[in-house]
Structure 1
Amino acid sequence: MQTSIHKRLKALSCTDLSDAMDRLKIICQCTDIKPLDRTFNLTGKAWTLRYGPIGLDGGSVGDYIDDLEEGQVVVIDNQARLDTTVWGDLLTSTAARKKLAGTVIDGICRDVDRALELNYPIFSRGNWMRTGKDRVRVEAIQEPVTLGGVRVQPDDWLRGDGDGLVVIPARQLTQVLTVAEEIHQAEEQIRAAIDAGIPLRKARADFGYHALQTPRN
């Protein structure tokens, strides 16, 4: 079942899924979360971690990566901070070895070269070298987090490509897939029509392009 879901999601783009969830009135588009490399793609279920700033009692960035399973996506909520990293070389190397699907961060990472070398997908707000050690602490693991303004719960699905990142709520996955596949097929038909010489205006009208993402009620 999970293999089938993964295959169906991977066949859809973030734009297909974004339009589908617009129709379904689901907030899904993670604002300003982008791939470090435009070729990065990821599809998988969320494993969540939330950081907060340290206080007088200090704290730790935590040791969690060994607990994840193949195919999961590491979802890190660092409250959109741009002044300190929460992901680097050692985590990338371990995640790649464990065959995780990728890492997404509401914040920044470092050691980009290793991610590019290993072709390990990272989606974040950017990169910088300043360590998070002695600056952040683990606040919660496997609880709901925020990613680019979108709520992510453990085991929600994520899909990332060159256009960005979307979150598919687990409880609405079947509905989202059905609508996204319908939209994808309609746009494929429009492409085929314009390749055959039909004017774009007519091709769009024939396949209802302008209302594909419009809520039905």
Structure 2
Amino acid sequence: MSDDNLDRAGRLDTATLSDAMDKLGIGGQCLGIKPLDPAFRLLGRAVTFQYAAAASPAGSVGDYIDDVPPGSVVVLDNGGREDATVWGDILTSVAHRRGIAGTLIDGACRDTDLARSLGYPVFSRSYSMRTGKDRVQLETSDTVVTIGDARVAPGDIVRGDADGAVVLPRSHEDAILAAAEEIERAEASIRTALDQGMRLDEARKQLNYHQLQRRNAD
């Protein structure tokens, strides 16, 4: 299915999208979340899962992967826990085979060598060998979650690169993308001016660069 806004987001980096969100006063930066490999790129719409501490008896960490649509990003909120992993090699293998776009975790993953060797994008707070089994359990899915202080709702655009990950709230994605594209055009013009010998301060002044990134007045 065609998804023009997803295509537009894929042509922009996370820094530019972050600047656009700052300009509009919209949150979405997944602070503290990094790619396992700086070469990883993440782009897709979110399918969300919420974890909680394990009950007694403990529930499953989750066997949901076969129901995630290809092209989606698996988004796992484990509350930032770094002592109980919620993603490993079997999930990576199945997700890669099914054409899932990647995984975003506020928490820890493991079996990182396989993700790197397959080129399957995993963005997480950390990684560890320690299993989440009997420590955490999948509590609910298709719900609003929090990843690195960013609110993520099902269907939101997730974009990740070497600098981290951002989430574009669906109700604001048109405005964010338009602002980011404007910033991108201005920065491209500045680089052209610099290549032609102009001073940086003059190029930024002529292209109204600082105003372009300043937060809009309420």
Q: TM-score when scaled to structure 2?
A: 0.97
Take 1:173 and 1:57, find their aligned partners in 2: how far apart are those partners?
42
Unaligned runs of 5+ in 1: none
Q: Is the contact made by 1:52 and 1:137 (CA closer than 8 Å) also made in structure 2?
A: yes
Give aligned-pair identity as a percent. Answer: 51
Contact 1:19 1:212 in 2 (8 A): no
Say whether the 8 Å CA contact 1:30–1:167 is kept in structure 2.
yes
Q: Deviations over 1:9-41 (max 9, x none)?
A: 111000110011111110111110000000100
User: Aligned equivalents of 2:216 and 2:106: distance in 1?
Assistant: 32
Offset of 1:171 from its aligned partner? 1.1
Which residue pairs with 1:200 in the alignment? 200
Three-state SS of the structure 1 residue aligned to 2:52 is strand
Report the aligned-residue RMSD. Answer: 1.0
Aligned pairs, number: 217
Structure 1 stretch 2-11 or stretch 65-74: which is displaced more? 2-11
Q: Deviations over 1:159-202 (max 9, x none)?
A: 00001100100111111111110000000101111111100110
SS at match of 1:193: helix
Contact 2:48 2:74 in 1 (8 A): yes
Q: How far off is 1:57 after superposition?
A: 3.3
Please list the CA deviations of residues 40-64 of structure 1 after superposition, one character each: whole Å capped at 9, or x if unmatched: 0011100000101113332110210
- Once the two structures are superposed, residues 89-114 of structure 1 have per-residue CA deviations (whole angstroms, 9 ceiling, x without a partner) of 00000000111110000001000110
Q: How does 1:35-74 map to 2 (within 5 A)?
A: 35-74=35-74
Asked if 1:180 is matched to 2:180, the reply is yes
Kindly indicate whether the alpha-carbon contact (under 8 Å) linking 2:6 and 2:157 is maintained by their aligned counterparts in 1.
Answer: no
Moved >6 Å (runs of 4+): none
Q: TM-score, normalised by structure 1?
A: 0.97
Q: How does 1:102-181 map to 2 (within 5 A)?
A: 102-181=102-181
Q: Alpha-carbon deviation of 1:8? A: 1.0
Q: Which position in structure 1 is the counterpart of 2:95?
A: 95
